[in-house]
Structure 1
């Protein structure tokens, strides 16, 4: 808790309160558009399946990456409009590049929102306006709002991917600090493209964003919970499969000065349709059912 608060010493008083269950979900959908190629076998079925799975799981906030086609984002939004009347998408700007392919759905009204685009990029990632979407919501029975930052970041395996991704982490942190409500907490999630099993890359993620990894917080090993795996039958051509397993998709948390969510559970989502996984990535779902209220006297 002290690590979450950034307060290694001094008096801190906590009062734990049970709240209405609250959960978030992130999933990279691999719905690529030209000039890239879709690598799966059933694009329409993938969209139908993710809609059905979201409806069954019903998280409070859902973030989907790599939904680049406007019409497909609209199809997903319309199919879930009764559960998720509030949304943000993009990010985008007036240029030739694709938008960022992000879709962020919320069951709760959006109190504030913003977005940013990473202008540092490398390789194929420069063809899309990758960035961060921010929303602020008020979960049921929480006394302070919650800031959520959703992103799809630079591919670390391009020629200059490592340095570019590290730079994006710093840029994201500056954006978070400028937009957050310091009293509440922040959840940062998405396909952050940091291989969680690599100590060097993982240290950069933690140091530059100054946060806690919910997967580790739940007692899991850093080199577990892979979301990009060799044995994934999503691909129409098996040669497109990755050569190693990686944990690239995250739910991360940074505590506020007055409130910290208490993690109840986190799981990797392995959705299938007709015996095939629906994406080259697995998703992540995290839930919270308590909060810690903080005072310093």
Structure 2
């Protein structure tokens, strides 16, 4: 009888473990936050001290069939690679994704192990024209119908933010202007607020994807004008929706490779310090593990990460490296873009004492 009870208990434990393991393995990814999610209150977690925050931007080429083949398995592989980095304690604190259109991006999120997720503009999101009636550009929104203009939105923005730190709120804007095949996606910008222990204020992080060049399928003047208008929209959104004085990190696929006119226009409309430019010009302050060719390495890629210091938090990049670039240290190539990771040092700025009132 005792042996039977022991065997029964052992069998029940094994079955329970098996069910728990399967349930854990099949657990859905975290429900993504969007603009519809009520904002959470910020509660500083002390003591206040300098912290390091790593941010990766990655265009994962999550395009649907028949535009791309085999991308579902690659998205899952990206999730497994991020999980492998997590096992070693090397995962980025924050991951900014672009072109996350396919359903398998949820598998990527589940496998990667990030507890907090936010999603950018969805397929049906439409936002007000940021230009006043008297200031609207002379841009015909449907000109090249055979290249996708005027067909409606076939997909979302493809923007996602994955974070190990809690997300307070999400704001987003779907770009009104576009050119060519890019118009089939609801491209835009998203902004999230993160609680980072050791800092007196939240850190805000933006993720965006701007209009492509030749891949749009329309003439250069057309796609360049759309890119410029989206840079205008980006500037309007950041000026109106960003918390004044908050430390800011900006990343994404800006589609500026070998296009100084595009890069300069973005910087004129919403200037921020670009990490690759800072690290190239001040190499003693930044461990750059990415090769730099020429005098403007920030134009050697479509992807940028930049920053703006806050009133109460200083911010500087301290390390830059490539991921998933086919190197022995970066990992396998899993997209038509490399991942780009920056480690920032964020330092609280002591509040100035208030002078006593003198009559």
TM-score of the alignment, normalized to the shorter chain, above 0.5:
yes
- Cα distance between partner residues in 1 of 2:249 and 2:119: 17
Per-residue deviation, 1:192: 0.9
Per-residue deviation, 1:295: 6.7
CA distance 1:98–1:198, change in 2 (3 Å): closer
CA distance 1:292–1:202, change in 2 (3 Å): farther
Q: Does 1:54 align with 2:82?
A: yes
- Residue 105 of structure 1 is matched in structure 2 by 162
Highest CA radius of gyration, 1 or 2?
Answer: 2
Q: Does 1:74 align with 2:106?
A: yes
Q: Alignment length, in residue pairs?
A: 255
CA distance 1:96–1:180, change in 2 (3 Å): closer
CA RMSD of aligned residues (A): 2.6
Once the two structures are superposed, what CA deviation does each residue of 1:238-296 show, in whole Å capped at 9, x if it has no partner?
xxxxxxxx411010112223322121111232444999621111111010134262778
Q: Does 1:172 align with 2:242?
A: no
Moved more, 43-52 or 84-93: 43-52
Q: Does 1:63 align with 2:96?
A: yes
Match of 1:189 among 232, 240, 251: 251
- Residue 27 of structure 2 is matched in structure 1 by none
Moved more, 273-282 or 214-223: 273-282
Q: Which runs of 5+ in 1 are unaligned?
A: 1-16, 227-245
Per-residue deviation, 1:45: 4.5
- Residue 320 of structure 2 is matched in structure 1 by 266
Per-residue deviation, 1:79: 1.4
- Cα distance between partner residues in 2 of 1:179 and 1:167: 18
- Cα distance between partner residues in 2 of 1:296 and 1:173: 31
Work out whether residues 91 and 133 of structure 1, in 8 Å CA contact, stay in contact via their aligned partners in 2: yes
Work out whether residues 76 and 105 of structure 2, in 8 Å CA contact, stay in contact via their aligned partners in 1: no
Match of 1:211 among 272, 292, 296: 272
CA distance 1:93–1:225, change in 2 (3 Å): closer
Q: Which has the higher contact order (CA 8 A, sep 6+)?
A: 1
With the length of structure 2 as denominator, give the TM-score of the two structures: 0.65
